[in-house]
């Protein structure tokens, strides 16, 4: 069977409406990447979360015969404990109600097709698998992953051209209470924006993290959509 010239394209933005219609009619799930525009230290781009979500979804879609929606590239919400909050230029937050309304509207537009999977980037799906493959990870604090070992490794795997390896900040570890404080307090956030040590981040570890995330998306879609 001759493949159509667009058969390997997965982003619905790249498809015409007729191509999209035919993919959906053939049972393609729609993967919706959810990311953010947020500081990720002096060494990673502001779009790190959205890039990771989008690229993991594209790889999963290729395995599933699915398609990916344009990523939601604004998040809720960057706070000192989760990313630095308003302390750093470049982070763009939606309010919670706006975010809910935005995602609700996007999902509602696709509602007739039913097979929709949202993938929100927060790090690593199967931490144990990454720890087995990369024992050095176990010395790090899983809660303090922002702009740190996992995200830097993942960025080195997916978009190394946007990683400033000459701007890696010195190793520091944030010290937060297990709750948020308002008005926001920034004195516990390391000045670089990276929450924990990252200097032994590697592309190989990032490859493992990406593989685990993609496998998780594929497994969830197969289980829930019967594909």
**Interface positions with Zn ion (CB under 5 A):** 49, 151
Contact at 8 Å (CB) between 219 and 118?
no
Whether the ω angle into residue 183 lies within 30 degrees of 0, i.e. cis, is yes
CB of 121 to Zn ion, least distance (A): 6
Residues 107, 118: Cα–Cα separation, whole Å: 9
Nearer to Zn ion, 151 or 212 (CB): 151
Nearer to Zn ion, 54 or 151 (CB): 151
Contact at 8 Å (CB) between 207 and 157?
yes
CB of 123 to Zn ion, least distance (A): 8
CB of 117 to Zn ion, least distance (A): 20
CB of 95 to Zn ion, least distance (A): 20
CB of 151 to Zn ion, least distance (A): 5
**Residue 55, SS3?**
helix
Nearer to Zn ion, 64 or 213 (CB): 213
Nearer to Zn ion, 82 or 208 (CB): 82
Contact at 8 Å (CB) between 39 and 88?
yes
CB of 196 to Zn ion, least distance (A): 13
Pick the closest to residue 141 from 154, 132, 131 (CA basis). Answer: 131
Nearer to Zn ion, 29 or 206 (CB): 206
DSSP codes of every residue in 101-164? HHHHHHHHHTGGG--EEEEE--S-S-HHHHHHH-GGGGGS-TT--TTSHHHHHHHHHH-GGG--
Nearer to Zn ion, 49 or 54 (CB): 49
Using CB positions, name the residue nearest to Zn ion. 49
CA–CA–CA angle 44, 60, 100 (5° rounding): 70
């Amino acid at each position: 069977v001759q493949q159509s010239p667009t058969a390997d394209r997965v982003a619905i933005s790249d498809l015409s409406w007729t191509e999209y219609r035919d993919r959906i009619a053939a049972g393609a799930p729609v993967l919706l990447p959810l990311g953010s525009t947020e500081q990720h230290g002096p060494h990673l781009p502001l779009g790190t979360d959205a890039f990771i979500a989008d690229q993991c979804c594209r790889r999963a879609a290729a395995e599933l015969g699915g398609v990916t929606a344009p990523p939601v590239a604004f998040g809720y919400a960057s706070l000192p404990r989760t990313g630095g909050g308003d302390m750093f230029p470049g982070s763009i937050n939606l309010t919670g109600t706006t975010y809910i309304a935005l995602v609700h509207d996007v999902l509602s537009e696709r509602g007739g097709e039913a097979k929709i999977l949202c993938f929100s980037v927060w790090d690593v799906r199967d931490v144990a698998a990454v720890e087995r493959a990369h024992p050095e990870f176990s010395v790090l604090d899983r809660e303090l992953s922002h702009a740190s070992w996992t995200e830097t490794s993942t960025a080195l795997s997916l978009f190394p051209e946007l990683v400033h390896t000459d701007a890696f900040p010195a190793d520091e570890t944030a010290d937060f209470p297990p709750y948020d404080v308002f008005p926001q307090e920034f004195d516990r956030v390391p000045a670089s924006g990276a929450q924990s040590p990252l200097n032994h981040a590697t592309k190989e570890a990032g490859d493992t993290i990406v593989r685990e995330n993609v496998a998780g998306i594929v497994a969830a879609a197969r289980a829930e959509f019967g594909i």
